Amino acid sequence: MERSLTMELVRVTEAAALKSARWMGRGKKEEADDAATSAMRDVFDTIPMKGTVVIGEGEMDEAPMLYIGEKLGNGYGPRVDVAVDPLEGTNIVAQGTWNALAVIAIADHGALLHAPDMYMDKIAVGPEAVGKVDINASIADNLKAVAEAKNKDVEDVVAIVLNRKRHEGIIEEIRQAGARIKLIPDGDVAAAINTAFDHTGVDILFGSGGAPEGVLAAAALKCLGGEIQGKLLPANDEELERCKSMGIEDIDKVLYMDDFCSGDDAIFAATGVTDGELLQGVQFKGTKATTQTVVMRAKSGTVRFIDGDHSLKKKPNLVIRP
């Protein structure tokens, strides 16, 4: 992949964030998602790459989507796989809460897992705890392992979990182990990424969420030196057949980092739509708007935080007289 694509992806996520942020708190998640999707498509048309969407968004909740198999870019440049979620946290924006992101990841062609749109059990940690956790181990054992890796007591470990009824057992196990919990309403891509940044206060992610979001989180954690493990959770025969079509006969198979994102390179970008622990959301300030983006590349290990100022002034209509 070309290094220049790193900054091109920033333009993509910034555009999606700026458009979707207009819908914050207005209770219309599909309109927010559509705004982000349209903005991304417009910018993608200008980028020198031959991209194919392998992780799209919206199939599960029938939202507007950049569909799997869609071609992105202007048809020139490197051939890449694209994982995209124009608005990770549609409900977050609709309700005006925390940690909505516009997200994209790219990798060399064939490097990203073509994850089916179903739930996946996940565990994610930052660099210090890589190789120390096991999705098949108990919650208590994983908490102890993270505590040891980060040189802290279990009672000082913070686990982040989607606030869902299906996670009641996990939440109880975390509490019995003595660790602390941050419950979130949505947005487990942001949650997984936050495990790799010390200032967010998050140490480990537990629980199930969308499999496509797992691929996006894996691309980010690959750039950051972190780790995610996953196990697909087919809910019916149709989803079971999807797993088999991917070559996964053993449903208990653990997916590791190289399963999610193989090779030695990936680029990940995310722009905050609403405020979060890692990124500030879009702010509209009269004639300008501000954005905050994180962009990273696995091959170089570079992580950049970019503050953007965007003019909101309308360009005057030019009238050419004979």
Residue 21 to residue 42: CA distance in whole angstroms: 17
For 119-260, the fitting CATH number among 3.30.1330.40, 3.40.190.90, 3.40.50.300, 3.40.309.10 is 3.40.190.90
Neighbours of 153 (CB within 10 A): 12
CATH class of 5-110+266-311: alpha beta
* Residues sharing a CB contact under 8 Å with residue 164, sequence separation 6 or more, in sequence order: 207
Residue 58 to residue 87: CA distance in whole angstroms: 10
* Residues sharing a CB contact under 8 Å with residue 303, sequence separation 6 or more, in sequence order: 223, 224, 294, 295, 296
Predicted pLDDT of residue 135: 98
Ranges for all domains in the chain classified under CATH 3.40.190.90: 119-260
Q: What is the pTM of this model?
A: 0.93
List the chain pLDDT tens, one digit each, 322 residues: 677 899 999 999 999 999 999 999 999 999 999 999 999 999 999 999 999 999 986 444 444 578 888 899 999 999 999 999 999 999 999 999 999 999 999 999 999 998 888 999 999 999 999 999 999 999 999 999 999 999 999 999 999 999 999 999 999 999 999 999 999 999 999 999 999 999 999 999 999 999 999 999 999 999 999 999 999 999 999 999 988 887 888 889 999 999 999 999 999 999 999 999 999 999 999 999 999 999 999 999 999 999 999 999 865 555 555 4
